[in-house]
Structure 1
Amino acid sequence: MPGILYPLLAGIFIALQTVFNARISEKIGLWETTTYVHIVGLIVAASLMFIFGKGSLGKLNEVNRLYLISGAFGVVIVYSIAKGTSLVGVSLSISVLLISQLLVATLIDIFGLFGTEAIKLHFTKPLGLVLMIAGLIIFKLKG
């Protein structure tokens, strides 16, 4: 059950962060918000690492160089979702985020990309994606 609680918690905080970042960016600007969010995140993450961390930053040299760009992904994520939210609203932004995230995650699973174990594609996965996209279209329709 804890395996489900972490993504649930992440989903809640993504929705909240989306709105909060959009509000901050209205006052200080989008790049400034992106920078601020990452500075606060660095302070919190570093504090938690010093208190609870059991790993070793010294082993970063053992990590595939490709994976080290993941920190830059956070910049793209924060900027893009804040910009999208300001243009199309929270619910549509999060809906598109979820569908694109699930699509990419499915491709990673199917092809075993980035060191993951390949998972056989069952017809329910593409069907689920199609239903999500259909749901997004229905959700977006003006009533």
Structure 2
Amino acid sequence: MVGILFSLLTGILVSLQVVFNNRVSDKIGLWETTVIVHAVGLIFGIILMAVFGDGNLGKIGEVKKLYLIGGMFGVIIVYSSMVGIILLGAAFSTSVMLIAQLIVATAIDAFGLFGASRIEFDFTKLLGVLIMIIGIIVFKLRG
């Protein structure tokens, strides 16, 4: 249940973030907004780490270097989500993002990529993805 609540929170915050970022980018530009968003996130992350952190930054050398590019993904995510919303609107852009996330996450699970536990891919998962895609198409046709 806690996982569902955190996932719902993430969905809500991602939807709000892309709209908020677009309002900032209207005034200062896309790349400038991307930098500001990550600077604010860094400051907030440092505060949260100082208050709640229970890990060990000294072990950063033990992390596969490939996984450290996740921060670069964040920059691309913020920028591309703003452009997607400008071109497609918030609801349609977010729908496309969710489908892409679901497809990639399903592939990671099905093949056990990047050290993830392998989760069997079956017809019901395929059917679920197809229903979501059809839903987005219907949503866009009606909008």
TM range (shorter): over 0.9
Match of 2:86 in 1: 86
Report Cα offsets for 1:46-102 as digits up to 9, x if no partner. 000011100011111001111010011100100000111011100001000000000
Match of 2:102 in 1: 102
Report Cα offsets for 1:88-122 as digits up to 9, x if no partner. 10000100000000000000000000001111112
Match of 2:18 in 1: 18
CA distance in 1, matches of 2:142, 2:50: 50
Q: Sequence identity of aligned pairs in percent? A: 59
CA distance in 2, matches of 1:142, 1:123: 28
- Counterpart of 2:36, as a letter, is Y
- Counterpart of 1:26, as a letter, is D
Q: Per-residue deviation at 1:142?
A: 4.0
Residue 59 (structure 1) aligned with residue 77 (structure 2): no
Q: TM-score, normalised by structure 2?
A: 0.98
Match of 1:3 in 2: 3
- Counterpart of 2:88, as a letter, is V
Moved >4 Å (runs of 4+)? none
CA distance in 1, matches of 2:33, 2:88: 18
Match of 1:70 in 2: 70
Q: Per-residue deviation at 1:126?
A: 0.8
- Counterpart of 1:75, as a letter, is V
Q: Could you say what secondary structure the match of 1:141 adopts?
A: helix
CA distance in 2, matches of 1:120, 1:129: 15
> Gaps (5+ residues) in structure 1?
none
CA RMSD of aligned residues (A): 0.8
* Residues 30-69 of structure 1: pairs in structure 2 closer than 5 A: 30-69=30-69
> Gaps (5+ residues) in structure 2?
none
Match of 1:136 in 2: 136
Report Cα offsets for 1:24-47 as digits up to 9, x if no partner. 111100000000000000000000
Q: TM-score, normalised by structure 1?
A: 0.98
